Amino acid sequence: MDAKPAEPTDAAVVDGVLSALADPTRRRLLDLLSAYGQATATTVADGLPISRQAVVKHLTVLEAAGLVDSVKVGREVRYSVRSEALDATARWMASLAAAWDRRLAKLKRLAEAAEQAQP
Amino acid sequence: MDAKPAEPTDAAVVDGVLSALADPTRRRLLDLLSAYGQATATTVADGLPISRQAVVKHLTVLEAAGLVDSVKVGREVRYSVRSEALDATARWMASLAAAWDRRLAKLKRLAEAAEQAQP
DNA sequence: TCCGTGTGCAACTCTGGAGTTGCACATGAA
DNA sequence: TTCATGTGCAACTCCAGAGTTGCACACGGA
């Protein structure tokens, strides 16, 4: 029973996470962030071949997708990774794969039944 | 033990699946395909507001990502959904989420230890 | 054989997003 | 207060990819 297609609320989350993770640079960014635990855009940009502004844009996308959290400390903004949205999307994908399997199995049964009915 | 980062072979698969699923039209297309069980590009295009050629391009991307299978029957090409790549990506995401959680927990412990060492 | 329908290929437009640059603003330290 | 450094904002370039259109080709049925 844990294989229903997806909860309606998850749709937007899944959409955001998938778009966010589609970019290799953003995946790399998440890797760095999870390694640092907490870091500013400037810090992360040092470890990447792109400008700080590019990093900020990516972080904005990731935050909108719920994959990243930001906290303002003094004059700097510290970002950290959040696993909830990622986990929700993983569950969505697993249930989708299960749904496909069930549909295919059902269609296969129907096809076999039809074949036996009309030899 | 089922939470190791990811198998190296999976990297390309995950990359392809994520890029493929990032497009809403492609997700819609997969929905239709899984409902039909098996369908041609022309058939699917009838249920979408885009041209057959656009559908063919999307199906090519999906097939390259391993999300779709194609079989040539006479003069038509029948596409069907495949769940393996999707399932592999789901597992990758779940293990990534778990890895993030473990790292954050570890960093938290380290921070607390440091705080106790220097009150 | 001829006709109709489904595919494949190529060229084209166009928009969104990735990245850069320049500058103004804010804040912590001296 | 002054200075250095980290952020925020805006305008700009550039290119990949989503979609279209037109046409040639292939195959099954009459």
Q: Is residue B74 part of a domain?
A: yes
Q: Is residue B108 part of a domain?
A: yes
Q: Is residue A14 part of a domain?
A: yes
Q: Is residue B4 part of a domain?
A: no
Give the pLDDT confidence score for residue A43 in this predicted structure. Answer: 95
| pLDDT surpasses 50 at B3 | no
CA–CA separation, A77 and B111 (whole Å)? 19
Q: Is residue A78 part of a domain?
A: yes
B35 touching A (Cβ < 8 Å): yes
Give the pLDDT confidence score for residue A16 in this predicted structure. Answer: 96
Counting the structural domains of chain A, the total is 1
CA–CA separation, B106 and A54 (whole Å)? 29
CA–CA separation, B38 and B79 (whole Å)? 5
Q: What is the pTM of this model?
A: 0.88
Q: Is residue A96 part of a domain?
A: yes
CATH number of the domain at A68, please. 1.10.10.10
The mean pLDDT value for A14-31 works out to 96
Q: Is residue A3 part of a domain?
A: no
For residues B108 and B76, the model is more confident at B76
Please name the helix (run of DSSP H) or strand (run of DSSP E) that holds residue A40, with its range, or none.
Answer: strand A39-40
Q: Is residue A1 part of a domain?
A: no
Of B34, B91, B104, the CB nearest to A103: B34
Domain with B99, as residue range(s), is 10-117
Q: Which residues of B fall within a CB distance of 8 Å from A93?
A: 86-87, 89-90, 93
CA–CA separation, A78 and A43 (whole Å)? 10
- Structure tokens given for A62: 């990731």
The mean pLDDT value for B66-82 works out to 95
Confidence of residue B2 (pLDDT cuts 50, 70, 90): very low
Q: Starting at the earlier edge strand, list the strands of the sheet with A76-81.
A: A39-40, A76-81, A68-73
The mean pLDDT value for B15-28 works out to 97
Report the alpha-carbon angle B101-B107-B113, nearest 5: 140
